Structures are given as structure tokens and as C-alpha cells.
Amino acid sequence: MRIIISGGGTGGHIFPAVAIANELRRRHPEAEILFVGANGRMEMTRVPEAGYNIVGLDIAGLQRRLTPRNLLFPVKVFRSVRKAGKLIREFRPDAVVGVGGYASAPVLLAATSRAIPSLIQEQNSYAGLVNKLLARRVSRICVAYEGMEKFFPKDKLVLTGNPVRTEIADGSRAEALQHFGLDPAKKTLLVVGGSLGARTLNLATAAALPRLREAGVQLLWQTGKLFYPEAQQLAAPYSADGLQALEFIKRMDLAYAAADVVVSRAGALSVSELCLTGKASILVPSPNVAEDHQTKNALALVGKGAAVLITDEHAADRLYDETLRLLADPERRAQLSARVRELARPQATEDIVDELLRLIKK
């Protein structure tokens, strides 16, 4: 069996893609899996770290403002489609999976023009532009939210949920407290702004450090690469009180296990992990994403009483008032936890691979 998985750009695309590959490899150890990404994007390092081969295309998105780079866009698309076509001819895949991001478009175009079975995995509650444009060409569309027929042909939709590493929910609290050097008698707050960090969350958290110490709250603060040097300096005086700035948290299973409350952006992967781990959360959607899809992701939880929403513009004033209230209210935390857990789809990866294998057999 030979499979191409294309797309990337952010952890929200890359981690589901790797989860799908891992499940394929678990069932079919002999399968050959090739990733196709965009040169210069994070998939070009993250995918090899996960043990898979990846080929890069020179593709990038259109800038929202008029720039010289936009003049090169048609040239890059043409070259990427041509290179993708060559990859398809040489690798001869039995099926192609697109997870969103720049690189998925040329590969899916090349595959569908050759009648190769193809599947899109849409993570968000508001469909991405590439996936919407390719929806009528592909064989199957796996989605994580209800009501996606407003973007895609209904007869191609399968509600599977998002592929999440199921081991993310297997962390031991005792091991987590030991791993991070935390006090079991104190409440722990986890702040994550996605794999690249989030400036709004970082600034609000930096300003709240004295309040957190005063409240006796411990902090695991994933800052991202850019803000980390500043955050490390700011958090240093509070380290004895369990307030930690971390550039990137590799053991997210333990971070979730330690957390009593999570403050997070509302990317599709983050939302799916919160559902699976059953964590009480405050979501601060990023305003810097296409079609404001993170707000729509957050509202899908808030509408079911499964999370709290604070807008990005109000985060500086309101985020830590709400966070400290929630940390002090065990009944409300338990209610949010129970409701978000009801939305989890732990079999999502298996269901997506089932659909893919059905397409190949058909």
C-alpha cells in the first residue's frame, strides 16, 4: 500500500496528519507513506522527527495586502502542480490524503485529475479555502463538526472528529507533578497559545504573574519560540512559587494531567485535545486566522456549556479575572469538564483510516 499525505503549515494540520500515518502504519506496517509539505514550513522538520519521509513544494499563500510576493504566486502554483504531478507518477499512490494548508492543493489537484482515490480531513468548524475549492473533486471529506454541508457536498461527508493522539489523555497526575516539579496541594493553570505561541496570551499572562503567585496558583506557560526569552526573564522571580515559562511542552499528556484549568487558543487540534482530556478551559480565539474560524470552533463548545470564551480584544482586561474565578470554583470546573468530555471522539483517527481503506478497496 502506498499513501501520500499532503498539507501542513501549523501544528493543527501536521499533528492530525501524523496521527493518520501512525494508524496506517499500525495496521499495515509494510505500507509506504510519503508526506508532501511546503518548503520553509514547520512540517519540513516535524514530519521527519515523527519518522516519515517528506518532499517540499515551493508553494505559499496569497498575502492579504498587495506585495511583490503575490506576483510570484501563479508561478509557484504552476511549478508546484507540475512537481506534484511528477511525484504522483513516480510514487504511484493508492490514495491521497489532504489535511489542509498550502501543499495539499497541488497534490490533490494532481491526484484527482488522475482518478486516484482522495480524502480531505477538515479540522475546523469553518472550512478552509483549499478544502472548499477541492471538495467536488475528492472522494470523501472527513469533518469534526456537525453542519458542514454548508461548505461541502453532503453525500461526501463523514463526521469522524479530529485525529488526536489518544495517549494525550493517558497522563498520570502523579507523574505530571513530579515531571514539572509541582506542588500537589496547589491548583495548576496551563496556558498554551498553539505550537507557535500567542502574543495576546503571553502578554496577559506576563501581567498576571503577581496575581497568580498571590492566589497560590502554579503555572505551566507554553510561550512559543519568539516570546520565550522575555517570558523566561519575567517568570524567573516566581519560579520558587511554581510559575514556569516553557518554550515548548513535549509531554502535553503530562501537562494536561497536571492542569486544573487550561487557557488556550481555539485551534481545531487544541479543541479536540480539550474534549479528549476533559479539561475545564477558557478559550481565546485568535483573530488572525481565515474567516475567524477559531471563534466558530470555540462557539461550538460554548454553545453546549463546555467551555468559556474570552475574545482576544478583551483578554488583557478580563482573561485573568475569569481564570482566577474558575480556579476557585470546583463545581463549575467539574461541570465544564463533564460537558466537554461528552464531545470527545476518541476513535476519530481509526474512523478516518477506515474511510481511506474503504476508498482504496472500492
Q: Summarize pLDDT for 146-156 with one digit per residue, the tens.
A: 899 999 999 99
Q: What pLDDT is recorded for position 61?
A: 57
- 125 is annotated as contributing to ligand binding: no
Radius of gyration of the chain (CA): 21
> d(Cα 298, Cα 124) in Å, to the nearest integer?
10
CA 29 to chain centre: 26
Per the CB < 8 A criterion, the answer to whether 266 and 295 are in contact is: yes
All 3 cell numbers of residue 343? 464531545
- 272 is annotated as contributing to ligand binding: yes
- 10 is annotated as contributing to ligand binding: yes
> d(Cα 223, Cα 232) in Å, to the nearest integer?
9
2-163+346-361 homologous superfamily: Glycogen Phosphorylase B; (3.40.50.2000)
Per the CB < 8 A criterion, the answer to whether 36 and 6 are in contact is: yes
Please report, as a single letter, which amino acid is at residue 98: G
Tens digit of pLDDT for each residue in 294-333?
A: 999 999 999 999 999 999 999 999 999 999 999 999 999 9
- 12 is annotated as contributing to ligand binding: yes
CA 250 to chain centre: 14
167-341 homologous superfamily: Glycogen Phosphorylase B; (3.40.50.2000)
25 torsion bin: left (phi>0), alpha (psi -120 to 50), beta (else): alpha
Percent of the chain with pLDDT over 70: 94
Under the banding of pLDDT at 50, 70 and 90, the label for residue 81 is confident
- 273 is annotated as contributing to ligand binding: yes
pLDDT greater than 80 at residue 221: yes
Q: What pLDDT is recorded for position 146?
A: 87
- 249 is annotated as contributing to ligand binding: yes
> d(Cα 357, Cα 125) in Å, to the nearest integer?
25
Beta bridge partners of 309: 283
Per the CB < 8 A criterion, the answer to whether 275 and 341 are in contact is: yes
> d(Cα 36, Cα 7) in Å, to the nearest integer?
7
- 268 is annotated as contributing to ligand binding: yes
pLDDT greater than 60 at residue 31: yes
- 23 is annotated as contributing to ligand binding: no
- 96 is annotated as contributing to ligand binding: no
Domain parsing of the chain, residue ranges: 2-163+346-361, 167-341
Instruction: Please give the mean pLDDT across all residues of the chain.
Output: 92
Per the CB < 8 A criterion, the answer to whether 162 and 16 are in contact is: yes
- 195 is annotated as contributing to ligand binding: yes
Cα-based distances in Å from 332 to 50, 239, 277, 323, 351: 38, 29, 17, 12, 33
- 182 is annotated as contributing to ligand binding: no
Note the pTM of the prediction, 2 decimals: 0.85
List the single range of 122-136, 228-242, 266-280, 295-309 with lowest mean pLDDT. Answer: 122-136
Please report, as a single letter, which amino acid is at residue 316: A
Q: Report which DSSP code applies to 9.
A: S
Cα-based distances in Å from 174 to 185, 254, 255, 273, 279: 12, 9, 11, 20, 17
- 165 is annotated as contributing to ligand binding: yes
